[in-house]
Amino acid sequence: MSFTRRQILGGLAGLGVVGLGVGGARYWLGRTLDARTHDYELIAAPLDLELVSGYTTPAWGYGGQAPGVELRSRQGDWLRVRFINKLDEPTTIHWHGIRLPLEMDGVPYVSQLPVLPGEYFDYRFKTEDAGSFWYHPHVSSAHQLGRGLVGPLIVEEREPSGFRHERVLNLKTWHVDQQGAFTAFSVPREAAREGTRGRLSSVNGVSLPTLDLPAGQVVRLRILNLDNTVTYRLNLPGADVRVYALDGHPVEPRPLGKEYWLGPGMRIELALKVPAAGQELPLRNGPLRLATLKSVPSNEAPGEWPAALPANPVAEPDLDKAQVLRFNFEWAATLVDSSAPGRRSHYWQINGKAWDIDDKTCADRPIARLQKDGHYIFELRNMAQYLHPIHLHGMAFKVLSSDRRDIVPYFTDTYLLGKNETARIALVADNPGIWMFHCHVIDHMETGLMAAIEVA
Ligand code: C2O
Ligand code: CU
Ligand code: CU
C-alpha cells in the first residue's frame, strides 16, 4: 500500500502556545489560524494533571485537556481537523464510529503513515451521521489512550432536535496509584482475562463530580465510555430517564431500565427529566457512584420529552439475500508460545488467527473479503467468559439478535458480546477499504483480538 504523505515537517511557527509551566511549554491549546484550511487545530501534547489531590500525573492530552477537547460538527458538514503531534512518539487519530473514507480512518500503515513527532496531518471528512462519537489514536493504544488521548466528537442534527439542554459525560478510569503516578496500562495476566483496569474512576477528568442540571428541564445526557477496559453498568436510580440513542444511532425512546452495560468505546444518549431544584441523583456503575446530578433552579418553562431523533442515512441490509459469515472470538493463550524474546503475547484470536500488533503486514491478510455493496450477516460467537465490545471501522451495522437477550434491532458500530454469547449483526458493505474489526478492550486488541475486513 502506498501513501500520500500529507503531513509536513516543522514549519509550525505562529501556533499558540498556552499554559507555560515550570520548564517551558507543557501544554498547547488549539485554535484556528486559517479557517480556509481547517476548522480545528488539535494538538496532542504532554499535560500535567492533578488527578489525585496534591500530586501531579504526567498525562497526555488533546487541546490542553484530558479527555480531549470536545469537537463538534453538524450532520452533512465537513469536519476539517489539523492534527499536530507534539508528543515524542508517533501517533494517529481514529474517528470512532464515523463512516468516512479509509485515508481518514487513522489506522497506521493501512490508512496513513503514523504522524511523527513535530509533524501534522490534515483530517477532512463529511459527518454523515448525527450522534455521539469519539476520537483516539490507533498506535500504542494501551498507553496512548491510557495517558489521556481520548476525546468526544459530537455531530449535531441538521435540524433542531428538540433538546434545549445537553451535557457530555466522558467516562474514563485512570491507571494511577495513590500518588497519581501511572501504573502499568497492560498487565499480561489481566490482558489474558478481562483487561487491565484503572484504579481511579472519572467523569470529564474529575473523580466524583457534581453536575448542575436545570430543574424541570429535559436534558440530553451523552455518556461516552472512553475507557480502555471497563464496562460500565450504568444506572440512575430514582431518575425519570429514557434512552434516545445508542452508539451514535437513534432508537425509539424507551425507559433506561435497571442497568445498561456500556462497554469500552460505546456511547448512550439519555433524556433525563430533571427533578425539582435541590434534589440529587446518583449516576452509578453498578453500586458505585460515578457522579452526582444536582438539580438547580431554572426559570424556563418545564420541558417536554422530545420526539425520537431522526434516523441516520445508513443502508438497510436485506436479510433475505445476505450472505452469512461466522466469527469466533476465542481465548488462545495456550496456543501461542509467548516466551520468545521480543514477541508480544497473543491471548486472543478470531477464527483461529491472532493479530500481531507489531506486524505491519497483518492488514494484507484480511479475515474476510466482502463485495462492495453486498449484504452480509455476521454471526459473532464469544467462546470465552469475558466481555468483548466488538467494533467495526468504516461502516455501521445492525444488531439483529442474540441468544442471551432480547434485542430491538438497532444500528451501531460496537456491540458488547457477553459471556459465551452468540449474536447476529447485518450490514451493507458500502464503504470500500480495509477495515479494522476488533475488540475495544484495548488489552484484548493488542494481544490478538483484531482482524481486517476488506470491502472491494
Ligand atoms: Cu475506537 Cu479501532 O477503534
Ligand atoms: Cu473505530
Ligand atoms: Cu475483548
Residues with CB under 5 A from ligand 2 (ion): 96, 393
**Which residue puts its alpha carbon closest to atom 3 of ligand 1?**
96
Asked whether this complex has an ipTM greater than 0.90, the answer is: yes
In the 8-state DSSP scheme, what is residue 108? B
User: What fold, for 165-296?
Assistant: Immunoglobulin-like (2.60.40)
84: left (phi > 0), else alpha (psi -120 to 50), else beta?
beta
Cα(281) to centroid(ligand 2), Å: 32
From the number of C-beta atoms within 10 Å of its C-beta (0-12, 13-18, 19+), residue 278 rates as exposed
What are the pLDDT tens digits along the chain (456 aa)? Answer: 445 434 333 333 333 333 333 333 323 344 455 556 678 999 999 999 999 999 999 999 999 999 999 999 999 999 999 999 999 999 999 999 999 999 999 999 999 999 999 999 999 999 999 999 999 999 999 999 999 999 999 999 999 999 999 999 999 999 999 999 999 999 998 998 999 999 999 999 999 999 999 999 999 999 999 999 999 999 999 999 999 999 999 999 999 999 999 999 999 999 999 999 999 999 999 999 999 999 999 999 888 999 999 999 999 999 999 999 999 999 986 544 555 555 667 899 999 888 888 888 888 899 999 999 999 999 999 999 999 999 999 999 999 999 999 999 999 999 999 999 999 999 999 999 999 999 999 999 998 999 999 999
In the reported structure, the alpha carbon of residue 341 is separated from the centroid of ligand 2 by a whole-number distance in angstroms of 31
Find the 420 Cα to ligand 3 centroid distance in Å.
12
CATH number of 20-156: 2.60.40.420
Q: What phi and psi values does residue 443 have, to the nearest 5 degrees?
A: -55, -40
**CA 300, CA 440: separation in Å to the nearest integer?**
41
Question: How many angstroms is it from 386 CA to the middle of ligand 3?
Answer: 7
Ligand whose nearest atom lies closest to the CA of 446: 3
- State the cell numbers at 33: 489560524
Fold match, 20-156 / 165-296: yes
Which ligand 1 atom is nearest residue 414's CA?
1
Instruction: Write down the domain spans for the chain.
Output: 20-156, 165-296, 323-455
Residue-wise pLDDT tens digits, 13-40: 333 333 333 333 323 344 455 556 678 9
Three-class DSSP category at 408: coil
Ligand nearest to the CA of 98: 2
User: Is residue 432 reached through a cis peptide bond, with omega within 30 degrees of 0 on the bond before it?
Assistant: no
Alpha-carbon separation of residue 217 from 34, 108, 278 (angstroms): 38, 44, 14
Q: Which helix (H) or strand (E) holds 412?
A: strand 410-412
285 CA from centroid of ligand 1 (Å): 23
Residue bearing the CA closest to ligand 1, atom 1:
96
Around ligand 1, the residues with Cβ closer than 6 Å are 94, 96, 136, 138, 265, 391, 393, 436, 438, 440
Q: Looking at the domain that runs over 323-455, which CATH code has it been given?
A: 2.60.40.420
CA–CA separation, 197 vs 206, rounded Å?
A: 17
Q: What are phi and psi for residue 103, nearest 5 degrees?
A: -65, -15
